[in-house]
Amino acid sequence: MTDTLLPYIELASALEACLSLPDTPELLDPQLLRRAHELLDILKTTLPDATNFAQMSLITETVHAGVQRRYAELHHEQNTLTSLISKNREVADQLEQSLRADQYLSQEAWNSFDIARKLIARQGGILLTHLDSIQVERLVAKNLNEMLKSPTTSALTQAMHSLIREASTLFEGFERQNRQIMSVVEAVYTRFNQLPGFTLGPPQLSSLENYRQDLEQLGEKTAEFCRRPINLMTDKASLAKKFGMEVVVPLRDLFTQLKTETDWWLRELSIPIQEQIQVKKVALEKCEEDVSMIRDQITTLEARKEETEIALSRLHQQEAAVERIMALTQTFPFEKPAQ
C-alpha cells in the first residue's frame, strides 16, 4: 500500500509546494483554491480517483494559464517602465544640460551687471558732484562778489555774463559725464538682450535738452538785463540783488532740479535689469525643481521596476511548481484505482 501511495505522495508534495507560494491565491478563485487544499489532504492519505485527477488537471491548468497571463502583464509593465525610465532620464539630462548652460550664462551676466552697476554708481557719483549745491553756491558767490567789487557798470555786467558762462561750462562738463554713463547703460542693456530669457526694452536715457534751453534762456535774460539803461542809475548792491532775483535764483533752481532728476534717473537705471534677473532666477529655480521632480519620478519608476522583476522571479517559481505537477500527472498512470 505504501509503494502504491508513493507517486501520489510526491504529487502531494508538489501540490503543497505550489499552494505555499504567495502568488497562488491570486491565480485561483476562492472555490478552486479551497478545492486544491482538499485535494492535498486526499493525496496525503488516500488514493485519488478519476474525479480527483480531473479536478487536479483543472486546478493546474488554471494556475498555468494564470501564470502565463501574469507573465504577459509583468513583461508589458517591465517594458513600459523601462521605456518611461529611459525617456524621463533623457528629458532630465537635456533639461539639466540646458539648465547648467543657462546658469553659466546667467552667472556671467550677473557678474557683468555687478561690475557695470558699480561703474555706473562711481560715474554717477562724479556726475552728481558737478551739480553739488556747494559747488554751485561757490560759483554764484564768486561772481556776486565780483559784481559788488566792480568799479564800473561795465565791469559789473561782465561779472553777470561771467556767471552764466561758468554755469554753462559746468553744465557742459555734466553733459559729457552723462553721455559716458549712457554709453555704459546702452552696452549693458545690449549685453543682457543677447542672453536667453532677457527681453529688455531700450534704457530710459537722461534728456538734458529742456535744461539746456532753460540755461540758454537765462543767458538771453542776462544779456537783456545788462542792456537796460536804468542800470546806469542804480547802485551796485541794488543791481546785484535784482540780478539775483531774476537770474541767480532760477539758475540755482535749474541745477537743483537737474540734480534731483539725475539722482532719480541713476537709481532707476538698474531696476529693469534687476527685475529681469529676478525673473530669470525664479525660472532657473523652477527648472531645477522640474529636474529634481523628474529624477524623483525616475527613482519611483526604478523602484516599481525592481518590484516587477521580483514578481517575475516569484512567478518563475510558480511556473516551475506548476510544471512539476503537470509532469507528474503525465509520468504516472493516474487512472481510477481498483476497488
State the pLDDT confidence band at 334, using cuts at 50, 70 and 90.
Answer: very low
Q: Residue 333's pLDDT is what?
A: 55
Residue range 88-109, pLDDT digits in tens: 999 999 999 998 988 888 888 7
Of residues 319 and 292, the one with the higher pLDDT is: 292
105: nearest Cα among 281, 274, 248, 235: 281
The three three-digit cell numbers of residue 13, written as one number:
508534495
Of residues 118 and 335, the one with the higher pLDDT is: 118
State the pLDDT confidence band at 259, using cuts at 50, 70 and 90.
Answer: confident
Of residues 316 and 333, the one with the higher pLDDT is: 316
Cβ-in-10-Å burial (0-12, 13-18, 19+) of 118 comes to: exposed
The three three-digit cell numbers of residue 154, written as one number:
561795465
Residue range 194-242, pLDDT digits in tens: 877 778 777 776 778 888 899 999 999 989 888 888 876 778 788 888 8
Q: Residue 35's pLDDT is what?
A: 87
Q: Residue 332's pLDDT is what?
A: 58
Mean pLDDT of 14-25: 84
Are 249 and 288 contacting, i.e. CB atoms less than 8 angstroms apart? no
**What are the C-alpha distances in Å from 209 to residues 67, 175, 252, 337?**
89, 10, 18, 120
Mean pLDDT taken over the chain: 84
Domains of the chain, residue spans = 2-91+305-331, 111-293
| Window from 50-59, 64-73, 211-220 with minimum mean pLDDT | 50-59
Residue range 125-172, pLDDT digits in tens: 888 887 777 778 888 888 888 887 887 778 888 888 888 999 898 888
Q: Residue 3's pLDDT is what?
A: 46
State the pLDDT confidence band at 280, using cuts at 50, 70 and 90.
Answer: confident
The three three-digit cell numbers of residue 144, written as one number:
556776486
Are 279 and 271 contacting, i.e. CB atoms less than 8 angstroms apart? no
Are 150 and 236 contacting, i.e. CB atoms less than 8 angstroms apart? yes
CB atoms within 10 A of CB 4: 9
CA distance 268 to 265: 5
**Model pTM?**
0.63
Three-state SS string over the chain comes to: CHHHHHHHHHHHHHHHHHHHCCCHHHHCCHHHHHHHHHHHHHHHHCCCCHHHHHHHHHHHHHHHHHHHHHHHHHHHHHHHHHHHHHHHHHHHHHHHHHHHHHHHHHHHHHHHHHHHHHHHHHHHHHHHHCCCHHHHHHHHHHHHHHHHHCCCHHHHHHHHHHHHHHHHHHHHHHHHHHHHHHHHHHHHHHHHHCCCCCCCCCCCCCCCHHHHHHHHHHHHHHHHHHCCHHHHHCCHHHHHHHHHHHHHHHHHHHHHHHHHHHHHHHHHCCHHHHHHHHHHHHHHHHHHHHHHHHHHHHHHHHHHHHHHHHHHHHHHHHHHHHHHHHHHHHHCCCCCCCC
State the pLDDT confidence band at 337, using cuts at 50, 70 and 90.
Answer: very low
265: nearest Cα among 206, 209, 210, 211: 206
* Total residues belonging to the chain: 339
* pLDDT of residue 65 exceeding 80: yes
Residue range 20-42, pLDDT digits in tens: 888 888 888 888 888 888 888 88
Q: Residue 123's pLDDT is what?
A: 83
Are 261 and 283 contacting, i.e. CB atoms less than 8 angstroms apart? no
Of residues 230 and 2, the one with the higher pLDDT is: 230
